[in-house]
């Protein structure tokens, strides 16, 4: 099929590259000319395992091209995926200005039938506004359909998630749109959930909000575990074996971040308010997540006493491992809170250093975990990269001023750390 993807962020670039790998002709469009020029040189604007190889392979075989022209993308495609950003406004509502702008440009460029598909995460009823915007801006009376096809890609495993999905959700209003999307996704052999557009839009926000709630729940439980000397890891194991609950997203820690959970949760709360419903449960989920970061900083304060003038080594800047994404990263918030109390920060992340340098001032960026540890008053783990799980702990112990590790992701075994001579403080483990 002939496909255009408008937007080359984490979702757009992965989606376009994977569709090309399935044998489709794909043109990825972005108004950032510099980004497009870099992509034409096989320089990736994001870190995602496997994406560079995927782009190179499909550019070489001619199935994947890049352009800064929406008009070109519309002209060369039958299916148009909108995958532009929908960042949060100050009140939590999603900013849909890019969606509107793209919809206008698509309308003006259409000369034949197109299927326009929402891929960006958008509030319910966005589909009807996309349809309305295209109708009033299309001067030729060209036929078109609008559909919703929310993404469920996890940064760090996005390519595998696309190629091996647990479900595909399509919201459509016509048989023509349904048949096109069924044919497009046929090679993936995954269950396809067919709904109306509004239901598909809600499925995305409801899914991410539920997962965020699950994490906040276990983080709240971790505080109870600490108060009584229980082990939240064992509690999560005992809960997770129950098939009604499941073990995934029950890892207690310093809190969730990234481009999805904070944004989608806030947007769903705001959507509910506009529809006349006060979603208090989700407000509590959001509050617990913010509190978890403050409680983690308090652990550091309670252990070091005075933070002013102390050197704290921070391992991890991205919101999760296997990505360079620092949007709403707990690490960034923790560092800023520590700096506010006068602490000096040394830090290292395998992929997110360059992006972190754009938002952090007065921080020493190190070449590895050992440089971070050298001369620091304590070592703080905020992102659970495998690299940090496998460091030489005895070497770390020698480099630190005192053998103190405060672990916001529970990546080490408390008994082992005790035997190695560390003062090891973690989350919800007594």
Which pLDDT value is given to residue 348? Answer: 98
In the annotation, is 260 catalytic? Answer: yes
Nearest CA-CA partner of 114 in 84, 70, 67: 70
| Residues near 84 by beta carbon (within 8 Å), at least 6 away in sequence | 6, 7, 9, 12, 98, 99, 102, 120
What span, in angstroms and rounded, lies between the C-alpha atoms of 268 and 277?
11
The model's pTM: 0.92
Q: Is 203 within 8 Å of 122 (Cβ atoms)? A: no
| Residues near 112 by beta carbon (within 8 Å), at least 6 away in sequence | 142
Average pLDDT over residues 3-7: 98
Q: Is the pLDDT of residue 140 over 90?
A: no
Which pLDDT value is given to residue 340? Answer: 97
Average pLDDT over residues 370-392: 97
Average pLDDT over residues 216-238: 97
Is the Cα dihedral 386, 392, 397, 401 positive or negative? Answer: negative
The Cβ-side half-sphere exposure at 230, using a 13 Å CA radius, reads 14
Instruction: Tell me which of 18, 225, 260, 378 is the catalytic residue.
Output: 260
- Residue 370 pLDDT level (bands cut at 50, 70, 90): very high
- Residue 141 pLDDT level (bands cut at 50, 70, 90): confident
């Amino acid at each position: 099929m002939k496909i255009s993807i408008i937007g080359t962020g984490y979702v757009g670039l992965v989606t376009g590259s994977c569709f090309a790998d399935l044998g489709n002709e794909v043109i990825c469009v972005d108004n950032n000319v510099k980004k497009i020029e870099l992509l034409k040189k096989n320089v990736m604007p994001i870190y995602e395992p496997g994406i560079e190889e995927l782009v190179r392979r499909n550019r070489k075989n001619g199935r994947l091209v890049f352009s800064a022209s929406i008009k070109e993308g519309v002209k060369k495609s039958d299916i148009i995926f909108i995958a532009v950003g929908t960042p949060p406004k100050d009140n939590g509502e999603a900013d849909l200005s890019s969606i509107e702008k793209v919809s206008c440009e698509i309308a003006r460029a259409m000369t034949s039938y197109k299927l326009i598909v929402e891929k960006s995460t958008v509030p319910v009823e966005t589909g009807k506004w996309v349809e309305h915007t295209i109708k009033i801006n299309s001067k030729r009376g060209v036929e078109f359909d609008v559909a919703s096809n929310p993404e469920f890609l996890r940064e760090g495993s996005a390519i595998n998630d696309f190629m091996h999905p647990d479900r595909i959700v399509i919201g459509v209003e016509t048989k023509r749109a349904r048949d096109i999307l069924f044919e497009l996704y046929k090679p993936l052999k995954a269950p396809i959930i067919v709904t109306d557009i509004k239901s598909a839009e809600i499925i995305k926000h409801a899914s991410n909000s539920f997962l965020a709630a699950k994490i906040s729940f276990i983080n709240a439980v971790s505080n109870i575990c600490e108060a009584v000397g229980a082990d939240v890891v064992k509690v999560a194991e005992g809960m997770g074996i129950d098939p009604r609950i499941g073990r995934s997203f029950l890892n207690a820690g310093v809190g969730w971040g990234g481009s999805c959970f904070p944004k989608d949760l806030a947007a769903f709360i705001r959507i509910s308010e506009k529809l006349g419903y006060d979603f208090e449960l989700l407000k509590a989920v959001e509050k617990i997540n913010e509190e978890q970061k403050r409680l983690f900083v308090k652990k550091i304060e309670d252990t070091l006493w005075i933070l002013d003038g102390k050197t704290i080594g921070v391992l991890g800047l991205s919101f999760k491992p296997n990505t360079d994404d620092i949007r709403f990263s707990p690490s960034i918030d923790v560092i800023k809170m520590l700096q506010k109390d006068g602490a000096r920060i040394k830090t290292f992340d395998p992929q997110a250093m360059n992006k972190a340098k754009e938002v952090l001032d007065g921080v020493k960026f190190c070449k590895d975990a050992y440089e971070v540890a050298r001369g620091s008053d304590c070592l703080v783990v905020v992102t659970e990269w495998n690299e940090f799980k496998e460091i030489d702990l005895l070497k770390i112990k020698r480099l630190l001023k005192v053998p103190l590790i405060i672990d916001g992701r529970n990546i080490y075994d408390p008994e082992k750390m005790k035997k190695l001579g560390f003062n090891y403080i973690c989350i919800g483990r007594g």
